[in-house]
Chain A
Amino acid sequence: MVDVTFQPNRVAGAQATRKRGGLRNALRRKSTVAFVMTLPLILLILILVVYPAFYSLHLATLNKSMAKFVGFGNFEFLFKRDTFWLVVKQSCIFAISAVVFKALIGFIVAHFVHNVPAKKQRKWRGMLLVPWVIPPAMSTLAWLWLFDPSYSAFNYTLSFFGIGPIPWTGDAMWARFSVILVNVWYGAPFFMIMYLAALKSVPEQLYEAAAIDGANWWQRIWYVTLPMMRNIIAITTLFSLIVTFANFDIVRILTAGGPLDHTHIFATWAFRVGIEGSDVPLGASVSLFMVPILAVAAIFILRDISKRGNEA
């Protein structure tokens, strides 16, 4: 009798088992499972976001006929154009003022909704979200009819009070006001719902403690609500700033950039130059100009959030 039987493939078999075991272990690891499950999304992002982003970078370095590499030539050209700087100025005015008003209105409305009794709150939340769930291209068409140069429903109503007619889309100042107003109307519900969620997570004890200390409503907002909501406010502002800077549909439908280019923003002007003017590389350069602006904003906001996270 022998103690150990001869096993010719024993070493190879052990290696294979180890390999199979390794694979099994890897598959058992949570991180691997997470990666595999997110792989379809990662692939989608690679195809639909990363590839187009790099392709537009490539386009921005070509000349008008897309036959020659010009490096930063398109940007140099843009920096010499007055219209481009007008677009930069307007994009900043549009995005910053719209985000400020959206945040302000969202904050106020979130407080109102938060104070509504729980049963009725659901209805209010649903109703207030309506502007945000309608596709903006559709709702902006309705706004276009309200602002119509010749048949504006607003002007018709105002005429009963002896006001107007107001050139909603025909005068530079009013046209800017109109596009910002529609953007605020569309985006404020997003802020409202985010702030409402944040308000609900503020511990009630903090307010009770503040009340015991004799804090008035303003002090409660300043010293309790706002510090507790700071991260959500920062993230919401960042997201909204990115989306508002990249807005296209509202301006395109409402004014198409007019009058006299006074409502053009990056995306609408990029479309005008790149698609309507058949200068795709210049259009790509206009759109890419947004990237550094938003990147700087993102770095500051996210750094602030992570600093507070570390402090916590």
Chain B
Amino acid sequence: MSRKKLSRRQFVAATALSSAALITAPYVRGAYAAGKLSMAFWDHWVPGANKASEELVKAWAEKEKVEVTIDYVPSQGNKNILTIAAEAQAKSGHDIFAMPTWWCHSNSEQLERVDDIMGPIIAENGAVNGTVQYLGQLDGKWLGVPASVGSQIKGPCSRIDLMKKHAGIDVQEMYPAGSPPKADNWTFDTFLKAAEACHKAGFPFGIGLGETSDNVDTAGAIFQSFGAHLVDAKGNLTVKTDAVRQALEFYKKLIGFLPPDVSAWDDASNNKWLVSGKGALIMNPPSAWAVAKRDAPQVAEQCWTHGFPAGPKGRFAPYLPYFWSIWNFSKNKEAAKSLLVHLSKPASIEKMCVASGGYDLPAYEKLTTLKVWQEEGPPKGTLFHYPNPYKHQTLSIAASPAPPKVAQQIYFQATLTKMCLRYHQGEAMEKTLAWAEGECEGFMRS
């Protein structure tokens, strides 16, 4: 059998030719030339709302040639925070995760800073509110991009008819659709009188005092309206102050006008209270109204979402933002940032807000007057004041301005609602304050 020998000259020539061919050949880009990316969105309550984010991501993926996997992780049963904890421990999982309120700070060591994209996003969409900065920044660096999906204000949702009939308050006149609020008289005194009147009429306000988010958020806004903080921004204990005492006194009066079982309320209780037609007011985003629209249209027609009553130190409303954060173990950070920029374009944000029926609330100043809030109904204009378009209330979160890792403990241990209940159940004021101080001392551990 003959064997053809390859000479050195032939070998060099062949190598040179093939190298030249490879270099000069046209670059053929594969379908997923820019790699892979996985994203965990918060699974929306509103049916069909996930579709908008899915379409946006797919459009971006096709354009950028990135293979994107999307997961919708629900917050029911704390599935999302369990997954976050697991991914943080495993240092593996999605590239981008929708972090609820406190989770940017609690995972700050493992999150990619996104200042490079936040600058242009803010320049395009307008400034963000103080709560978004408080929850999304560490030492001035952004830990995530504020997500419109899932972000919400938990303001009052009142029954127009019941408030007019029993409390003599016309909520539509106070917060007219299409024009600024005329709510100077909407103070804690007015609120308390209205609560008493509605309670006497058999339609008490539905404000919970349990240990879940809705209950704590309302207590947080009320405490802040009195200037009452358990821990200040520097981490000093400020429990034993007159402001905290005033807030507790106010709550003691208010609890007397609430349903007797509010200590056992969870996040579903206030929604049920409104939908059943038993109450004149609850503190909730428009999800309760949306359920009423489906299950009890006669109730939904009478609902009006509006601003919080003002306290001695101002008008505060609970605001709970989500953030899209990139894990530092992500293998495609540049693609992740590009996707977040795409999702933060005004057109993308509007698309997601519309799909959520106005539930989602962008964090940016220029995006609080979208058409969706003007048009949603019945009654038309019911959501006009939901996004705080005239900035007449300060958006805040319970337990702030304490350092976020301490505030998270105060929030999830429901220290505020527990204090209110203890005092209402007859415990001496100073004993309640001493208990809260002891709890907060424990939350300071590092």
Contact = CB atoms under 8 A, between A and B. Distances in A.
Given A150-B278, A272-B412, A260 B81 contact: no
A65 B442 CA distance: 15
Mostly, the B contact residues are helix
Contact of A64 (B260, B418, B446): B446
Most buried by B among A77, A80, A256, A282: A256
Nearest to A272: B412
B109 A65 contact: yes
B445 A64 contact: yes
A275 B263 CA distance: 23
A221 B417 CA distance: 52
Interface string A65-97: 100000000000100111100000000000000
A150 B272 contact: yes
Contacts of B272: 150-151
B440 to A, nearest CB: 12
Nearest to A155: B261
A265 interface: no
Interface stretch (A10-18, A34-42, A167-175, A181-189): A167-175
B270 to A, nearest CB: 10
B422 interface: yes
B250 interface: no
Given A256-B211, A260-B418, A167 B445 contact: no
B261 A167 contact: yes
Nearest to B264: A170
Q: Is the interface of A mostly helix, strand, loop or mixed?
A: loop
A96 B46 CA distance: 44
Contacts of A167: 260-261, 263-264
Interface residues of A, number: 34
Interface in B391-446: 405, 408-409, 412-414, 418, 421-422, 435, 438-439, 442, 445-446
A260 B421 contact: yes
Given A170-B264, A175-B264, A256 B78 contact: no
B264 A277 contact: no
B413 A275 contact: no
Interface string A275-312: 11111101000000000000000000000000000000
B211 A150 contact: no
B264 A272 contact: no
B211 A257 contact: yes
Interface string B371-388: 000000000000000000
Interface string B61-88: 0000000000000000010011001000
13 contacts: A77-B445, A82-B435, A150-B276, A151-B272, A151-B276, A165-B260, A175-B264, A256-B211, A260-B422, A275-B81, A275-B85, A277-B409, A278-B106
Q: Which 5 pairs of residues, A with B, have the shortest CB-CB distance?
A: A149-B261, A278-B106, A170-B264, A169-B264, A276-B412
